[in-house]
Amino acid sequence: MTNTIADIETSDLILVTGSNTTENHPVLSSFVKRATLKGKKLYIIDPRKIKLTEYADKWLRPLPGTDIAWINGLMHIIIKEGLQNTAFIKDRTENFEALKTLVETYTPEHVEAVTGIKTGDLVEVARAFAKAPAASILYCMGITQHTCGTDNVKSLANLSMLCGHLGKPGGGVNPLRGQNNVQGACDMGGLPNVFTAYQPVGNDEARNTYEKAWSVTGLPKNPGLVVTEMVQRAHEGSLKALFIIGENPMVSDPDLNHARKAFQRLDFLVVQDIFHTETAQMADVVLPAFCFAEKDGTFTNTERRVQRVRKAVEAPGEAREDWRILCDMAGRMGYEMSYASSRDIFKEIAAVTPSYRGITWERIDKVGIHWPCPTEAHEGTPILHTTQFTRGKGLFHALAHTPPAELPDRDYPFILTTGRVLYHYHTGTMTMKTQGLNVLSPECFVEISESDATKMALDTGAMVAVSSRRGKITAKLKVSSKAVEGTVFIPFHFAEAAANELTNAKLDPTAKIPEFKVCAIKIEAV
């Protein structure tokens, strides 16, 4: 997030897209709701009629996978009517002319034909967004989990820069992280192409810093594989062993039939987790780890705030802290990694991570600090890009709409989109161990519009078979006002009827993220 969670309430206008905020980020959604009660404008642009639409000034429903088209349409209207922030564009950005040329063809009429969004609604949102003193964009995986996910995010950045809504209170482009400390994992280099603080592995200066800190030589210059590439390599037989920590890909990966075959072809699979997940059941070795409440450390949340986490209970059985397991493994492989505590590890993090350098255990004893925090005298950075962007000037990207990898046809007439429900978390590893939550949300469902259900002569509770070109599941139908004609929603938590048996494993070429949000399916009564 470029801005903070609390900052949302200071926005004059909030644009939420690709985020079922009340179910996926219920605490954060309360800030959005409070903002509307203070008279702030809220626009929702999403294929589903999510709960937050009840608070919105207007809900715009695009066809799934058409985000770049409607974003370009908003920018077309803003530029045509001269509502862009000319001073911000001149002083803080570059490549505006290329963007201007590209969006000329995205007239409201053309955008309506591509996305289904009414011309008048698009014009209303464009004018309101451009004229707002400060407008905030909130997005989540409904934007990123597409074959054009990276370009979707760049398009939202284009829109915010065009109107000068970056670098100030109440503005910003704000991705909502789906799990605690996802931000922290990325900050720590939990990506195959960077060290901590997103320093590229190909950067000689960064690599030399780490070689010196760790008393090693020859750290690789080339990026490693992302998760989706690892699964494919395992399927091909060129990746022989896999070590999985705190992840359950046998429910969360796309095209699970393909993933299952890939894991079966491994010579050796290790899973380190707190429960015996579907993936752990396939492992050669399972290493029991501590859960969040059993250890000390830090989490970095969605707004870049680094916070202390403290041990609350003792761990069961033979479970151990993740870092102790990894240190012992490193020692047996010939490299001694020795720390006395989580605090010692955090000292090293601060020493080798520029954006964390000024954060100490003592400074975050009671209140967290937003990175970047370069020195101990620095108070942290709640709002990014106040004077300049990381690269200096913000770069406009001229991006054209590209359709999803798979669209409905006569054989598979519906669009499937997947996501979470309020009561369960990701693959249900933790939440499905809780009886109360299982009572509230006991099983998978196939959410469909009333008009589509009527055409099929089916009603809520009917058992249906849902098929794609990759797999088939059986679940109960749920006729819902959230659903719209032609689009079906299935939560991905339930291993017994895993939605990801159906999803398309086609990837975004840059981020290598799968297209979880759009694939073609058919529904038949059982």
Are 90 and 197 in the same domain?
no
Residues 25 and 131 in one domain: yes
Residue 186 pLDDT level (bands cut at 50, 70, 90): very high
Distance CA 411, CA 409 (A): 6
**Is residue 252 domain-resident?**
yes
What is the model's pLDDT at position 126? 98
- CATH no. for residue 476? 2.40.40.20
Lowest-pLDDT range, 341-345, 396-400, 418-422, 506-510? 418-422
Percent of the chain with pLDDT over 90: 88
Note whether residue 420 is domain-resident: yes
> Stretch 448-459: mean pLDDT, rounded?
94
* Mean pLDDT of the 370-379 span: 97
- Each residue's pLDDT tens digit, 88-124: 999 999 999 999 999 999 999 999 999 999 999 999 9
Pair 193, 298 in one domain: yes
Domain shared by 218 and 307, yes or no:
yes
- Domain boundary (176, 201, 231) is at 176
Please tell me whether residues 318 and 457 are part of one structural domain: no
Q: Are strands 414-419 and 487-491 parallel, antiparallel or unpaired?
A: parallel
pLDDT above 90: residue 426: no
Is the residue at 387 inside a domain? no
Domain count, the chain: 3
Q: Supply the CATH number for residue 339's domain.
A: 3.40.50.740
Q: Per-residue pLDDT averaged across 237-254, rounded?
A: 93
User: Is 396 part of any domain?
Assistant: no
Is 444 among the domain residues?
Answer: yes
376 part of a folded domain: no
Contact 36, 84 (CB under 8 A): no
342 and 426 both lie in a single domain: no
- pLDDT tens digits, one per residue of 61-92: 999 999 999 999 999 999 999 999 999 999 99
- Report, as an integer, the average pLDDT of 138-164: 96
Give yes or no: residues 186 and 172 share one domain.
Answer: no
Same domain? For 96 and 161 the reply is yes
Nearest Cα neighbor of 460 from 480, 483, 440 is: 480
Final residue before a domain boundary, out of 130, 158, 176 = 176
> Does residue 354 carry a pLDDT above 90?
yes
CB 445 within 8 A of CB 474: no
Please write the tens of the pLDDT for every residue from 193-205: 999 999 999 999 9
Round the average pLDDT of the chain to a whole number and report it. Answer: 95
CB atoms within 10 A of CB 410: 6
Q: 210 and 162, same structural domain?
A: no
The verdict on residue 381 lying in a domain is no
- CATH number of residue 27's parent domain: 3.40.228.10
Phi–psi pair at 460, nearest 5 degrees: -50, 135
* Residue 473 and residue 517 share a domain: yes
Tokens 């991006």 sit on residue: 399
Is residue 503 domain-resident? yes
The domain of 454 spans 414-525
**Mean pLDDT (whole number) for 4-13:** 96
With cut-offs at 50, 70 and 90, classify the pLDDT of residue 315.
very high
Do 194 and 323 fall into the same domain?
yes
Q: What six digits make up the tokens of 443?
A: 């099983």
Same domain for 278 and 303: yes
Query: Of the residues 142, 176, 210, which one is the last residue of a structural domain?
Result: 176
The mean pLDDT of 120-147, rounded to a whole number, is 97
For residue 425, pLDDT over 80 is answered with no
Residue by residue, what is the 3-state secondary structure of 316-343?
CCCCECHHHHHHHHHHHCCCCCCCCCHH
Query: Per-residue confidence at 427, pLDDT binned at 50, 70, 90?
Result: confident
pLDDT of residue 438: 85
